Structure 1
Amino acid sequence: MNILLLGATGRVGSQLVARALKEHHNVTALVRNPQQRLVQHRQLRIVQGDVLDKQAIEQAMLNIDVVVSALNTDGSTTLSASIPIILEAMKQQNVTRIITIGTAGILQSRVTPTIFRYQSSESKRKSIFAAQEHQRVFEHLQQSTMDWTIVCPTYLADGDFTGVHRVARNFLPEGGTKISVADTADFAYQQLFSKEFFHTRVGIAY
């Protein structure tokens, strides 16, 4: 499988790169700085560029089967500004599958299911900026023709891979308070081979 990985140097993204290469897939990573720490591997192709650069995205999208985005907000609007560019490049190259790492804030609230968690009393975060950015990505994906899945972890903790977790469609599993980076990356990786959560936000927690 030929995978385009965005956010490849981040906490979740770097683990996804390592897993995909271990399983003998071809990985293309779009990075702003080629000096950033990435493993050297014959099946890893590095494209220098920014996700807001249409030309760089189009170059990275060549011969790709699936897009995995582990981009975070970094306090900017890059996340929401880049998704239309990514979707357009996918359309041009006839790529239909995209998996993104979101946030539990954009899952539905169990207290008030008509609103998002970040808008409800369930959320303990003082800033809603990141959740709003992820909401915009969700809305773009909803309006697209792509086969999308948004993996929505709750608090991302450091820790070893356990392989044990709970998931729920569009909601956070009841009582879920955290999930490790390793288990989040593993679940996202499994979605490369599954249609179970097409067009769905998936809450994941222990």
Structure 2
Amino acid sequence: MKLTIFAATGGIGRLLVAQALDAGHEVTAVARRPEAVAPSPGRVVAADLATADPAALVPAVAGADAVLSALGGRSRRDTDVATRGTDAVVTAMRTAGVHRIVVVSAAPIGTVASPARPHPPRRDPGDGPLMRYVLGPAVRAALGGHYADLARMEDLLRASTLDWTIVRPPRLTDGPLTAAYRTAYGRNLRRGASVSRPDVAHYMLRCLDDPTSERQTVGIAR
């Protein structure tokens, strides 16, 4: 499969590149610092997704069977990079005639307001009492700008004609690849407080072969 991976030097992006190459996929990596992409897939495109011109991204996605994005803010001050970058990627995909995209979001986003969802559910059906009443509100208060950015990113994908999958992990860890994670469509996972970055990358690649994951938000957790 021909894959284009955005944010290829990030915590999940670099794992996507490594796992995709190990699986025999043909990879184009897109990163702000192309020299930092490792392992090198052979084709690396330099682009800063915070300011990217969609036309400049067309060569990176042209001919791809799917696009994977681990784009997100590098700090709490980056409160629009996911929205801007994903908008540019979606526009480039539309121009190039590419339809499949898988992106990383976050577990709390189902309850975060956005322009297209000004009145989201107050609780995710998969969240237990601790997450609903203690951890969830505390995390949303601390990362409000970052989560608002991800919520707008999700709006963009839902409004598009692409075959998207939005993966919503809870707290990310640097644990090992286990492939023993749980997933659920449209909700978080009960007692699912964390998941490793390698497992998230594994699912993002695995779902490319699962048409039932298209146009779905997917909760993932150990």
Query: What is the TM-score of this pair, normalised by structure 2?
Result: 0.83
Instruction: Indicate if the aligned counterparts of 1:165 and 1:205 stay in contact, CA closer than 8 A.
Output: yes
CA distance change for structure 1 residues 134 and 113 in 2, over 3 Å: closer, same or farther? closer
Instruction: Indicate if the aligned counterparts of 2:83 and 2:152 stay in contact, CA closer than 8 A.
Output: yes
Equivalent residue runs for 1:22-171 within 5 Å: 22-41=22-41, 44-51=42-49, 52-74=52-74, 75-76=77-78, 77-108=80-111, 114-115=121-122, 121=133, 123=136, 124-125=138-139, 126-171=142-187
SS at match of 1:107: helix
SS at match of 2:63: coil
Report runs of 4+ in structure 1 exceeding 6 Å deviation: none
CA distance change for structure 1 residues 143 and 113 in 2, over 3 Å: closer, same or farther? closer
Instruction: Indicate if the aligned counterparts of 2:62 and 2:93 stay in contact, CA closer than 8 A.
Output: no
- Alpha-carbon separation, structure 2, partners of 1:61 and 1:163: 28
2:102 partner amino acid: I
SS at match of 1:105: helix
- Alpha-carbon separation, structure 2, partners of 1:19 and 1:178: 20
- Alpha-carbon separation, structure 2, partners of 1:113 and 1:64: 34
CA distance change for structure 1 residues 46 and 37 in 2, over 3 Å: closer, same or farther? closer
Give the deviation of 1:140 after TM superposition: 0.6
Give the deviation of 1:174 after TM superposition: 0.9
- Alpha-carbon separation, structure 1, partners of 2:54 and 2:144: 28
Instruction: Indicate if the aligned counterparts of 1:4 and 1:61 stay in contact, CA closer than 8 A.
Output: yes
- Alpha-carbon separation, structure 2, partners of 1:59 and 1:178: 36
CA distance change for structure 1 residues 115 and 142 in 2, over 3 Å: closer, same or farther? farther
User: In the alignment, which residue of structure 1 is the partner of 2:5?
Assistant: 5
Instruction: Indicate if the aligned counterparts of 2:62 and 2:98 stay in contact, CA closer than 8 A.
Output: no
Instruction: Indicate if the aligned counterparts of 1:151 and 1:201 stay in contact, CA closer than 8 A.
Output: yes
Which structure has greater helix proportion? Answer: 2
- Alpha-carbon separation, structure 2, partners of 1:164 and 1:62: 34
Superposed CA RMSD in Å reads: 2.0
User: In the alignment, which residue of structure 2 is the partner of 1:205?
Assistant: 221
CA distance change for structure 1 residues 56 and 195 in 2, over 3 Å: closer, same or farther? same
CA distance change for structure 1 residues 116 and 145 in 2, over 3 Å: closer, same or farther? farther
Instruction: Indicate if the aligned counterparts of 1:50 and 1:56 stay in contact, CA closer than 8 A.
Output: no
- Alpha-carbon separation, structure 2, partners of 1:108 and 1:168: 16
Give ranges in structure 2 of 5+ residues lacking alignment. 113-118, 125-131
Give the deviation of 1:116 after TM superposition: 6.3
In the comparison of the two structures, how many residue pairs are matched?
200
Give ranges in structure 1 of 5+ residues lacking alignment. none
